[in-house]
Structure 1
Amino acid sequence: MSRSLRRGALAATAIVISIASLSACGAGNDAQTLGIRPDNAAVTVEDVQIQNALVITQPDPGAVGPAVVSATVFNNGLTRQTLDSITLPGAAGPVKLKAAEGDGPVVVPAGGSVVIGGKGNASATIEGGLREAKNGDSQKLVFKLSKTGDVGIAAFVVPAHSYFKDFGPSEVPAPPATAPTATATTTPSGTATPSGEATHAAGH
């Protein structure tokens, strides 16, 4: 493993601690006063702050299937915003956003936050997976919010293993089916006579 990949793996492992903390209490009343400092890079544009951004790929290397974006989006303003899109270069398909409940937009409440990724949270699915980025790489993401506009951040790319399993793609390709084995056919009794017996019978 190269030095850069080792650094990426170590940093990504540290990120999950922040993810777990924010998932558990990000929407609580004391979320702003806990003083949590993320172990990964964060970005702030106007009233919006994005932390713990990750691109989580299929658990098996080389598997073809969707990837997901995981992040926490904070809105420190007085007006609610909606997350209108997430885009990234190198994706094989669009990023499909889905709110935690219902069919409406992903809403970031005023003075609150929304967690993307994980059971019971909003989701952002890269339907065609990634075309270029590899595990351990840094991937540029652009979050487009209704009031703030584009907010860019660099996210680590990690597989859905270990700590990241519960935040990874919910759709995992099934293993290839085993090819059926050939079965021998039994010749009905009396329809063929072994050549040795036929020769013996002819001699008599």
Structure 2
Amino acid sequence: MSRSLRHGALAATALVFSIATLSACGAGNDAQSLQVRPDNAATAVDSIKIQNLNIITQPEPDAEGPAVIAATLFNDGTKQEVVEKVTLPGTDATVELKPAKGKGPLVVPAGGRVIIGGKNNASAVIENGRQAGADGSVQTVAFTFSETGDVALDASVVPATSFFEGFGPNTLPSAKPTATPSDSATPGEPSTGQSESPAGTETDPAAGAEHEAATH
């Protein structure tokens, strides 16, 4: 075989190998990236897979209020798995779990999945969201399953903005009232034209907060 023919054969072989490699990578990426952002934490232990894990805090960095955990849990086993608890190791934060419908344990059915976070899905709420860490940091999240046991992985702490807006906390803090002193008021003396509110007509701050939360 001449040198030119050998070079042509080698080039053709390299081209076929490159196409095959790219095709395999493309298929793998498509399979793995379905509903999963590539920068989100994911892991697999035994029959349990956890994907798309994030801790989502209040949209404003100085706002106080709950945070939530968002994730998708897959169970490839033949037995259902109960999520017994979720913790944030190294913190005092507590996580309240609720299934998508009704009360009871959070169950990942055999051969099925459970989405945590977002409208009409199961929820995992951190009451004091700032215990989860500052936005942009990383916090370990540990899931305890009835069959598999503990599965821990690191999650990004992100605010409920942009892509994560629809998955953030349902309860947002109400605005703090701003005092507006009267121009005619004299220090130490009551302002003219103002009277005390009649009994029973004061605004309940709790009711206002509930109304504000309901509007969100």
- TM-score w.r.t. structure 1 length? 0.70
CA deviations on 1:162-196 (whole Å, 9 max, x unpaired) are 1111100111101111214326426xxxxxxxxxx
3-state DSSP of counterpart to 1:140: strand
Tell me whether 1:35 sits opposite 2:67 in the alignment: no
- Stretches of 4+ aligned residues off by more than 6 angstroms: none
For 1:147 and 1:110, the matched residues in 2 are separated by 11
Instruction: State the AA in 2 paired with 1:81.
Output: E
Paired position in structure 1 for 2:207: none
Instruction: State the AA in 2 paired with 1:149.
Output: G
| Structure 2 unmatched ranges of 5 or more | 1-29, 185-191, 194-216
Residues 79 and 132 (structure 1), Cα distance of their counterparts in 2 relative to 1, 3 Å cut: closer
3-state DSSP of counterpart to 2:165: helix
Paired position in structure 1 for 2:46: 46
Q: CA deviation at 1:144?
A: 0.6
Instruction: State the AA in 1 paired with 2:66.
Output: P
Paired position in structure 2 for 1:69: 69
Instruction: State the AA in 1 paired with 2:82.
Output: T
Aligned length: 153
For 1:44 and 1:144, the matched residues in 2 are separated by 14
Higher relative contact order (CA 8 A, sep 6+): 1
Moved more, 39-48 or 101-110: 39-48
For 1:84 and 1:111, the matched residues in 2 are separated by 19
3-state DSSP of counterpart to 1:130: helix
Moved more, 155-164 or 174-183: 174-183
| Structure 1 unmatched ranges of 5 or more | 1-33, 187-204
For 2:94 and 2:109, the matched residues in 1 are separated by 25
Paired position in structure 2 for 1:200: none
CA RMSD of aligned residues (A): 1.7
- TM-score w.r.t. structure 2 length? 0.67
Q: CA deviation at 1:93?
A: 3.1
